[in-house]
Amino acid sequence: DAGVTQSPTHLIKTRGQQVTLRCSPISGHKSVSWYQQVLGQGPQFIFQYYEKEERGRGNFPDRFSARQFPNYSSELNVNALLLGDSALYLCASSLMGLAQYEQYFGPGTRLTVT
Amino acid sequence: AQTVTQSQPEMSVQEAETVTLSCTYDTSESDYYLFWYKQPPSRQMILVIRQEAYKQQNATENRFSVNFQKAAKSFSLKISDSQLGDAAMYFCAYRSDPLNSGGSNYKLTFGKGTLLTVNP
């Protein structure tokens, strides 16, 4: 089975622009989470979606938004980009939103803001 | 809020030897899950091992085992017979039990990571 896929792999944007990152979960997985990993740090939780509803949100500004589609894929949107938004954005999927189900991570999207 | 601390930014080990990576966490919850993830230079985060807080027995997965000390809030990872492919960034992570957190707190809280180098 294919793992979690993310697109694009790399992205370069300018301050003030908007960006959309995409994630396709493992087939059958209904929960998707997004994490931001700044260089040299551990990932930080941004959002979790389960059955197309937001189930959790981390400490990120309203410039960050996300949604989940009927096929359980997800998009993360970031508006008014700042230099500090430069990071690896990781998507993780799980079978259900319950804690005992493992989260499987995608390869990430490397966003560079100049 | 829960916090996870990895006090060793870098560790090195000789091939075939054993190394232990440290992790401590802070929580007021009694039920939770702990994980060790591996992130090789290719970036894909891979689950290495997990531990449920209600289980007293330490988890083991082949060459990987944990020492879970609930009272001390310590969760170390031991890698035996280290291999070159074990070289990676290792992250300790905490996850609440949503049944005890009012609903849907499924997020993982990560430490800053430990970079493991394996020397041939």
Integer CA distances (angstroms), A26 to A101, A105, B7, in order: 13, 10, 34
CB contact under 8 A, B107 and A102: no
pLDDT at B83: 97
pLDDT above 90: percentage of residues in chain A: 78
Question: For residue range B24-40, what is the model confidence (pLDDT) as tens digits?
Answer: 999 998 888 999 999 99
For residue A97, what pLDDT is reported? 58
Alpha-carbon distance of B63 to B49, in angstroms, equals 11
Cis peptide bond N-terminal to A107, omega within 30:
no
Whether chain B has a CB inside 8 Å of the CB on A84: the answer is no
- DSSP 3-state of B42: coil
The parts of chain B modelled with pLDDT lower than 70 are 98-105
Is the confidence at residue A56, as pLDDT, over 90?
no
d(CA A83, CA B90): 27
User: How far apart are the C-alpha atoms of B71 and B27, rounded to whole Å?
Assistant: 11
Work out the average pLDDT over A26-37: 93
Q: What is the pLDDT of residue A113?
A: 98
Residue A111: the pLDDT is 98
**Which residues in chain B have Cβ-Cβ distances shorter than 8 Å to A49?**
none
pLDDT digits (tens, 9 = 90+) for A7-23: 999 999 999 999 999 99
d(CA A32, CA A24): 9
pLDDT band at A102 (very low <50, low <70, confident <90, very high): confident
CB distance from A107 to chain B under 8 Å?
A: yes
Amino acid in the structure at residue B111: G
What pLDDT is recorded for position A50?
86
Rounded to a whole number of angstroms, the distance from the CA of A111 to the nearest CA of chain B is 14
Once rounded to an integer, what is the mean pLDDT over residues A42-64?
A: 92
Mean pLDDT of chain A: 93
Contact B108, B92 (CB under 8 A): no
What count of other Cβ atoms lies within 10 Å of the Cβ of residue A1? 5
Cα B97 off chain centre by = 17
Residues of chain B found within 8 Å of residue A92, distances taken between Cβ atoms: 45, 108
Looking at beta carbons, which residues of chain B come within 8 Å of A107? 42-44
**B113 contacts on A by Cβ (under 8 Å):** 41-42
Determine the Cα–Cα distance for residues B69 and B61; give it in Å rounded to an integer: 18
DSSP letter at A110 equals: E
Q: Say yes or no: B56 contacts chain A, CB-CB below 8 A.
A: no
Distance CA B51, CA B100 (A): 17
Judge: A45–B112 Cβ closer than 8 Å, yes or no: no
- What pLDDT sits at residue B6? 98
Residues of chain A contacting residue B108, judged by C-beta atoms under 8 Å apart? 33, 35, 43, 45, 92, 103
Using the Cβ of A9 and the Cβ atoms of chain B, whether some distance falls under 8 Å is answered with: no
